[in-house]
Amino acid sequence: MFTLISSLSKSFSYCGENALRSIRMSIKNLASLSRDEVKNLFSSIDTILTDCDGVLWLHMKILPGAPDVLNKFREMGKRVFYITNNNVITREEFCVKCDKLGFTSTKDDVLTTSYLTACYLHDIGFKKKVYVVGTSGISRELSRLGIRSFGVGPDPLISDVATLVMKDFKLDPDVGAVIVGFDEYISYPKILKAASYLNHPDCLFIATNTDERGPSFINDCVIPGTGSMVAAIETCAGRKPFLIGKPSTYIIDAIRKRYNVDPERTLMIGDRCNTDILLGTRCGFKTLLVLSGVNTLDDVMNWKQSDNEEDRGLVPDYYIGKLGDLLPLLT
């Protein structure tokens, strides 16, 4: 276990604010660079942080060439971390998924927000109980660190709100935190309970991440993400959560506690600009957007021309159609 909390208050003052203020004047198509330019770029990088869904795979479908590119990075001596806002599975389950899809991984290479949320509570010495709006990925990571929790699974409105409030509702006085992650069983009773616990100012409010939606992978379907669930509870509770996942720099503090990561020699790869790329910008990393997931080149160009400085923090240094397109440039 690595100690995370001590650096929270000073997290990322070393490069974040200045980096965010910087204006990215150019965004380069990596595929249009010469092999020498690509070689020079990667010789200036030791650590690669990669998002997963939309970069390596879409749901359970491998994006062509992605496993070969990660293997190539490792061959080139780069340290590769999987850095995901996924909070539905544990790190071990994540490694099983990697294995099934042909990606090499060990538990130490994987940072999920389910795991990091449990680390956070463990490191602040949290002893009470957690009400979880989320999945067993969170409750199992909590349990491994000896933290009690409940709330996972369906909790539908049985009759009506009046009956729920007057007869069926009772707060557990031992609850000291509410964690909100992805919950396919999100319901009126769950929002009501979470907000009621959060009505007590001492109750911690933690969001694993705030991704609005998942990458669409079937029938042009919009998949509501964790952020949708966090927003519902945040609105009702009238409080802002402490954010664990990208673009919160907490996740990078966690890596820096364990490994010697030099921000200037680190590349962040992602498909979503307001999490992956913004994290990279805040931390002073080089950033690469792949166009195989959430954001498009049109999105990026709009932000690049925006008068809003924060929008320009969403603009990556480089982009490429998909990660697999890098392979011929690396070999």
Cα radius of gyration (the chain): 20
* Catalytic-residue membership of 311: no
Smallest distance, Mg ion to C-beta of residue 295, A: 9
Contacts of residue 13, Cβ cutoff 8 Å, sequence gap at least 6: none
Binding status of residue 214 toward Mg ion by CB under 5 A: no
- The piece of 43-51, 89-97, 154-162, 192-200 that touches Mg ion (CB under 5 A) is 43-51
Known active-site residue 53: yes
Kindly state the tokens that stand for 253.
């503090």
CA torsion, points 59, 64, 66, 69, in degrees to nearest 10?
180
Q: Which candidate, 200, 199, 201, 228, places its Cα nearest to that of 213?
A: 228
Burial class from Cβ neighbours inside 10 Å (0-12, 13-18, 19+) for residue 314 reads buried
Q: Please identify which of the residues 36, 53, 155, 325 carries the catalytic annotation.
A: 53
Count the residues of the shown chain that bind Mg ion, applying the rule CB under 5 A.
6
Binding segment (CB under 5 A) for Mg ion, from list 63-71, 75-83, 158-166, 266-274: 266-274
β-strand partners of 312: none
Residue 298: CB atoms within 10 A of its CB come to 8
Give whichever of 53 and 123 is closer to Mg ion, judged by the CB atom. 53
The answer to whether 271 is annotated as binding is: yes
Residue 253 is a binding residue for Mg ion (CB under 5 A) = no
Q: Which helix (H) or strand (E) holds 71?
A: helix 66-75
User: Does 51 sit near Mg ion (CB under 5 A)?
Assistant: yes
Residues 52-81 that bind Mg ion (CB under 5 A): 53-54
Say which DSSP state 240 is in: P
Q: Which of residues 275-294 bind Mg ion (CB under 5 A)?
A: 293
Q: Does 123 bind Mg ion (CB under 5 A)?
A: no
Residue nearest to Mg ion (CB): 54
Stretch that binds Mg ion, among 12-20, 50-58, 196-204, 238-246 (CB under 5 A): 50-58
Would you say 262 is a known binding-site residue? no
Q: Which residues pair with 161 in a beta bridge?
A: none
The verdict on 211 binding Mg ion (CB under 5 A) reads: no
For Mg ion, give the closer residue by CB, 54 or 313.
54
User: How many helices and strands in the chain, by DSSP H and E?
Assistant: 14, 16
Tokens representing residue 170 in the block: 């009772």
List of residues contacting Mg ion (CB under 5 A) = 51, 53-54, 271-272, 293
Catalytic residues: 51, 53
Binding residues: 51, 53, 246, 271
Binding residues for Mg(2+): 51, 53, 271
